[in-house]
Structure 1
Amino acid sequence: MQNQEHINHLKNLVQSLLDEAKKQGATAAEAGLSQEDGLSVSARLGEVETIEHHCDQGLGITVYFGQRKGSASTSDLSPESIKETVSAACSIARYTSEDSFAGLPDPELLATEFPDLDVNHPWGIHADEAIAIAIECENAARAYHADISNSEGATVNTHQGIRVLGNSLGFLQGYQSTRHSLSCSVLAQRGDSMQRDYWFTVARNAADLESANDVGIKAAERTLRRLEARRLPTQQCPVLFSAEIATSLLGSLIGAISGGALYRKSSFLLDALDTPIFPDFVHVYEQPHLRGALGSGNYDGEGVATQTRDLVSDGILRSYVLASYSARKLGLKSTGNAGGVRNLTITPGALDFQALVQHMHTGLLVTELMGQGVNNVTGDYSRGAAGFWVENGVIQFPVEEITIAGNLKEMFKQIVAIGSDVDYRGNIRTGSILVEKMSVAGE
């Protein structure tokens, strides 16, 4: 899609935005521009269902008149539109009230080194090739077992984008990135029992995707194992969060130590810095410079340099997750997290998934969560769940229509083990997580 010449052209556009802002009286400005294109193909029951070509672009500018701030955006990149967009942002800024914490990031924190992170691998796939992959994937799932009765289809996505960021402090950078995925979802029926499940694979480089056959078979296996699910009696027991579900626990951690929640005093981890919040074997850290990973980046949404850093070590909370505004509100420095964390990782333990199930001995394995029952202020946790009942270290039967409940403060401290079965398909990297005890509400 783009080469270095095109990136330079987009950089020039961003610079023209910044120049125009200065011309219109802004004391400082930052601007971002993105262009994206992609292909999405889905097939169901062996037939093409949708073919979508995506092509989007947009730019946004934020201007400052002292401590007054205004923002505007447009998808029109013409010189006239750029001028109008800057004018709109300036008009807003002139009428907003002053905010002593507003402004560009601290200049000394801006990124100055930009190594290649290997995140750009265009996939020159045509629609007919993508259709063939989707159909192969779905066919593998449908042919796997006679109980696979229907399908929600298989989808192939390929996406390539370019983002350029600049500010009046002299920062001006751009990079290209890609993201490709393949997913499949099927239904199974046995008697009166009907279930659905899915599987997906995602990568920067299409060569790193799981095969269409493997994705289809995993989707089928996951669906079949849920048939004839039962409810459980209400009880307290150990709970093992499978790796793809355990990411949500770390997501709750990040929500609680993010600047916005902290300065609004709406976090269950308020004033928890430098105190133990996990057992001492827990290590949580960011790895923003991993080559080829889905969350990698040299700088955050403000141009602040990202860095490999500990959020939790020896179970102790070592750092918050801050952008410039929230950092100033808290009297601290930005941690390079405007736009979130990057490749958040919890160090895996020695036990693989099977060994974790055996270690739990008797309890609940959770493979799906439903609902939004997490209170970020109190840490109270209550979510619908499905999974499997385990006895004597062996999975006995599938479980559905239950609720698991606890408090995240206690759940974090009651983590018994973290599996070696790390899920790499996202920005949060964790193995399965075993919690010593939670309430399970069923029959």
Structure 2
Amino acid sequence: MTQTPETLCHALLDAAQKAGADSADAMAAEGSSLSIEVREGALEHAERSEGVDIGLRVFVGQRQAQVSSSDTRPETLTAMAERAVAMAKEAPEDPYAGLADPAQLAKSWDLDALEMADPSAEPAPDQLQQDALAAESACAAIDGISQVQSAAAGYGRHDIHMAASNGFSGGYARTSRSISCVGIAGTGTGMERDYDGDSRIYQTDLRSAEEIGRTAGERAIERVNARRPKTGAYPVLFDERISSSLIGHLLGAANGASVARGSSWLKDSLGAQILPEAFSVIEDPLRPRVSGSRPFDGEGLPTQRRAIVDKGVLTGWTMDLASARKLGLESTGNAARGIGSVPSPSNWNIALTQGQQTREELLRDMGTGLLVTSMIGSTINPNTGDYSRGASGFWVENGEIQYPVNEVTIAGNLLDMLKTLVAANDARTHLSRVVPSLLVEGLTLAGE
């Protein structure tokens, strides 16, 4: 009989019970991926992978252990279970570890409504190669592009199943289709690069390869002859491409595991105003055709739409079962896990309230300051929210872009920064994180 992810999960649970586990959960993923890269009009790299990965978590009292493998032979499942139980017996007790109560589990879901997997056939390698070549050609055709660093196209499909001794059993399939391109402009030490790309669940939703290549080239050209701005305090406009990082820092601080450890700069802000009143942060894991959607979390609990921030007020933490138990609260259905890792809190699809103005109108209103289009590195103090990141982008004077800039450091405090946000209306609604360009007042720029 063919071993499906579902049958593998139940075989692992049976093996765990026979090995002496008090309870257990299992996860199996069967997947394939295909990626094609081209360079100078010829195939540079082609890679296809197929495989099955399995993971088992067992509990012996309040002790737990996790094991994983890519070998699905029956004798391996038995050995995994025996090893996991032996490991659990040696592990320290964790008063917060354990499976969900059966009453908490997701009972039903509509996978068709979520559209997490494209039913169309897997693209042929030739089709992916043609997409990569088209992106490369469009990028190279931009006047001033010295070379195309990379152009690639890919496809992947994964079938995932989870089961647990508390009665939960569920799974789903997920597909992805992508095109990307990186262009380089200038020569010698003056070379600059930029990129564009798109990744979708449904192939028909994907932007054209020509548009992606052309945009990558145009962005690279715009960065040539960059210089460092003057040091000082200025408004900073975070472009839509990278603005979600600001909300990501907020989400990280509202993570139940961080709060339970006491290492969150938001730990004392529950019920407090942390964003302007016009802003809400909505999590919705049930959006169709979005990569972060899922009907249940990594512990079998139903996912749900919720407001993490409602009209500027922080309403709650993002929790799995363990962090919720530590905090004396209920899980929010946000447990994420990998084949070889235990659950931990994570966010799914996030959307920040969009503003009324275009990005160009925000540029006009900011007067003199910095438009940030890419960032590198990150120094965030988890306890205070002090923020420092390297950035590059464009200098703005009198509301208009003047010249590209690089090698600048942006510094501030996230608690203060988030309270001054002004949003544009340019967020891409198909992304898992729907965050528009964001203007922040009074950040310190370290340039020349």
TM-score class normalised by the smaller sequence: over 0.9
Q: Report the equivalent of 1:357.
A: 363
Contact 2:101 2:166 in 1 (8 A): no
Q: Where in structure 2 are the equivalents of 1:344-383 lying within 5 Å?
A: 344-383=350-389
| Partner residue in 2 for 1:189 | 186
**3-state SS of 1:245 partner:** coil
Alignment match, 1:391:
397
The answer to whether the 8 Å contact 2:5/2:30 transfers is no
Indicate the SS of the match to 1:268.
coil
* Aligned-CA RMSD value: 1.5
3-state DSSP of counterpart to 2:392: strand
In structure 1, the residue matched to 2:328 is: 331
Cα offset, 1:107, TM superposition: 2.6
- 1:9: which partner in 2? 4
1:387-414 per-position Cα deviation (integer Å, ceiling 9, x unaligned): 0111222111111111100011111112
Is the contact between residue 190 and residue 228 of structure 1 (CA under 8 Å) also seen in structure 2? no
CA contact (8 A) 1:123 1:206 kept: no
Give the aligned partner of residue 27 of structure 2. 32
Deviations 1:329-353 (A, max 9, x none): 1111111111211111111111122
Name the CA distance, whole Å, in 1 between partners of 2:185 and 2:61. 62
Cross-structure match for 2:247? 250
- 2:365 counterpart SS class: helix
8 Å contact from structure 1 (residues 405, 440) kept in 2: yes
Q: Indicate whether 1:439 and 2:444 are aligned.
A: yes
Q: Distance in 1 between matches of 2:423 and 2:225?
A: 29
Q: Deviations over 1:176-217 (max 9, x none)?
A: 110111000011117963211000011001111110110011
Structure-2 separation of matches of 1:22 and 1:387: 57
Equivalent residue, structure 2, for 1:419: 424
* Equivalent residue number for residue 89 of structure 2: 94
Identify the residue that residue 64 of structure 2 maps to in structure 1: 69
Of 25, 47, 53, 1:52 maps to: 47
How many Å apart are 1:263 and its aligned residue?
1.2
Distance in 2, Cα, partners of 1:141 & 1:182: 13
The answer on 1:84 being equivalent to 2:89 is no
Change (3 A) 1:101 1:211: same
Match of 2:123 among 111, 122, 125: 125
Query: Identity of aligned pairs, percent?
Result: 39
Name the CA distance, whole Å, in 2 between partners of 1:62 and 1:92.
11
Partner amino acid for 2:392? A
Residues 280, 314 of structure 1: 8 Å contact kept: yes
Quote the Cα distance in structure 1 between the aligned partners of 2:146 and 2:106.
53
Among 196, 201, 215, which residue is 2:198 paired with? 201
> 1:261 maps to what in 2?
258
What amino acid does structure 1 have at the position aligned with 2:44?
A: E
Whole-Å Cα distance in 1 between the matches of residues 356 and 384 of structure 2?
Answer: 32
Distance in 2 (CA, whole Å) between partners of 1:194 and 1:92 is: 53
Q: CA deviation at 1:88?
A: 0.8
Which residue of 1 is the match for residue 285 of structure 2?
Answer: 288
Distance 1:123-1:412 versus aligned 2 partners, 3 A rule? farther
Q: CA deviation at 1:106?
A: 3.2
Change (3 A) 1:390 1:256: same
Which stretch of the first structure deviates more once superposed, 44-53 or 11-20? 11-20
| CA shift in 2, pair 1:92/1:151, >3 Å | same
Cα offset, 1:232, TM superposition: 0.7
Structure 1 spans left out of the alignment, 5+ residues: none
SS of corresponding position for 1:373: strand
- 1:123: Cα distance to partner? 4.6
Corresponding position of 1:108: 103
- The C-alpha deviation readout for 1:84-117, integer Å capped at 9, x for no partner, is 1111111111122221111012332211121121
Instruction: Name the counterpart of 2:268.
Output: 271
C-alpha distance in 2 between matches for 1:179 and 1:258: 27
Q: Is the 8 A contact 2:102 2:167 kept in 1?
A: no
Q: Any conservation in 2 of the 1:286–1:341 contact (CA below 8 Å)? A: yes
Alignment of 1:312-323 (within 5 A): 312-323=309-320
Rounded Cα–Cα distance in structure 1 between residues aligned with 2:69 and 2:188: 55
Task: Give a deviation string over 1:2-56, Cα, whole Å, max 9, x none.
Answer: xxx97x9321221121122222222211100011101000001111110000113
| Maintained 8 Å contact 1:123/1:158 | no
Indicate if the aligned counterparts of 1:244 and 1:423 stay in contact, CA closer than 8 A: no
Residue segments in structure 2 that go unaligned for 5+ positions in a row: 337-345
CA distance in 2, matches of 1:243, 1:303: 34
The code of the aligned residue for 1:90 comes to: V
CA contact (8 A) 2:146 2:187 kept: no
Q: Specify whether residues 142 and 96 from structure 1 end up closer, same or farther in structure 2 by C-alpha distance, changes over 3 A only.
A: same
Q: How many residues align?
A: 436
Q: Alpha carbons of 1:78 and 1:143: their partners in 2 closer, same or farther (altered >3 Å)?
A: same
